[in-house]
């Protein structure tokens, strides 16, 4: 009888948890829709991702197919201005490449770099911070001193140094150059979260009944310590995109044969004083939109993760 009652109670508890999940999702969606800026930011990023992924199908021209370029169409203004023509909606550059098409292809590079940096730096830094925070001792001391040393140097400076030494730029090398120091913030954030979580009562209770370190980490510590990394990742994505554009602008990022928003801005700067503003304005606007949108979403995500900041 007692066992049957226990099964009923357990079933009821499980049903209650399952019943609460839709309400939690609904509350999250309600909070998101209540933030018009967050909705606009998400819509912009979704449109950009679709455009970048479908660039070969959407773009009127492949800007890196030399056979498709016509120097007679170079430096055309946007289609709505005098001298502009379709299909060059946003005008063309000095090589006759369609600005709109180049932005779509260049956004691919920005999104690849941002995703690669977040995945690699987040995984590496999160693992280092998890190990350092949970086990402490000399592991914590050594890793945090290395992290402090890297923090004393600018990420841009380290990336410039590495790419300047290697010289053969590529998207993969740009990602690795940013990751070299980019993992530090993930490691420090994860370490701080783990230090707090591992002293919680449920973790201490699980350890007291004989739970192994691996089980405690995977089942209790990691799921409850990883949330702050999501906010860091959202911000870092924008930072990585901006840093890739900076490196490409300086000529040490992706090669000139690789589409890049930073490369577009770098090539257009020589014509800005000639009144050909579209060479810089449109790629710079997209770049600013990516960073601005990610910061807005990171701010909303921070509010949702931190109960003290949630807007009921």
Q: Which of 75, 64, 71, 67 is nearest to 102 (CA)?
A: 64
- Measured over the CA atoms of residue 281, residue 301, residue 156 and residue 170, the dihedral's sign is negative
Report the C-alpha gap between 69 and 87 in whole angstroms: 13
Under a CB-based contact definition with an 8 Å cutoff, are residues 204 and 221 in contact?
no
* Residue 22 pLDDT grade (very low, low, confident, very high; cuts 50, 70, 90): low
Q: Is the pLDDT of residue 115 over 90?
A: yes
**All domains of the chain in start order, with CATH:** 32-309 (1.10.3720.10)
Residue 291 CA to residue 111 CA, distance in Å, equals 11
The per-residue pLDDT for range 45-80, each reduced to its tens digit, is 999 999 999 988 888 888 877 777 777 888 888 888
Q: How many residues are there in the chain?
A: 312
d(CA 9, CA 196): 32
**CA separation for the pair 62, 28 (Å, rounded):** 41
**Cα(244)–Cα(46) distance, rounded to whole angstroms?**
21
Residue 95 host element (H or E): none
> Angle at Cα 175 formed by Cα 170 and Cα 180, nearest 5°?
125
pTM score? 0.82
Lowest mean pLDDT among 1-10, 41-50, 272-281: 1-10
Residue, of 6 and 188, whose pLDDT is higher: 188
Checking if the pLDDT of 151 tops 80, the result is yes
* Segment 207-232 mean pLDDT: 85
């Amino acid at each position: 009888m007692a066992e049957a009652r226990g099964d009923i109670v357990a079933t009821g508890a499980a049903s209650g948890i399952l019943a609460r999940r839709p309400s939690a999702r609904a509350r999250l969606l309600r909070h998101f829709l209540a933030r018009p800026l967050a909705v606009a930011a998400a819509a912009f990023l979704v449109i950009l991702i679709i455009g970048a992924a479908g660039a070969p199908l959407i773009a009127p021209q492949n800007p890196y197919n030399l056979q498709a370029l016509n120097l007679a169409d170079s430096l055309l203004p946007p289609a709505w201005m005098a001298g502009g023509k379709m299909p060059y909606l946003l005008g063309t550059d000095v090589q006759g490449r369609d600005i709109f098409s180049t932005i779509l292809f260049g956004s691919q590079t920005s999104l690849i770099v941002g995703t690669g940096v977040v995945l690699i730096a987040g995984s590496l830094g999160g693992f280092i911070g998890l190990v350092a925070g949970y086990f402490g001792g000399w592991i914590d001391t050594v890793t945090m001193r290395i992290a402090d040393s890297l923090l004393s140097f600018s990420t841009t400076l380290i990336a410039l140094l590495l790419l300047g030494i290697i010289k053969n730029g590529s998207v993969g090398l740009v990602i690795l150059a940013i990751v070299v120091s980019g993992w530090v913030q993930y490691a420090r954030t994860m370490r701080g979260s783990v230090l707090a979580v591992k002293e919680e009562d449920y973790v201490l209770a699980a350890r007291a009944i004989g739970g192994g370190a691996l089980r405690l980490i995977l089942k209790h510590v990691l799921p409850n310590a990883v949330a702050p990394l999501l906010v860091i990742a959202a911000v870092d994505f924008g930072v990585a995109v901006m840093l890739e554009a900076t490196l490409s602008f300086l000529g040490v990022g992706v090669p000139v044969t690789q589409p890049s928003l930073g490369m577009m801005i770098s090539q257009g700067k020589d014509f800005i004083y000639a009144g050909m503003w579209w060479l810089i304005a449109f790629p710079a606007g997209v770049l600013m939109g990516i960073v601005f949108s990610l910061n807005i979403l990171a701010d909303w995500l921070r509010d949702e993760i931190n109960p003290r900041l949630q807007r009921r």
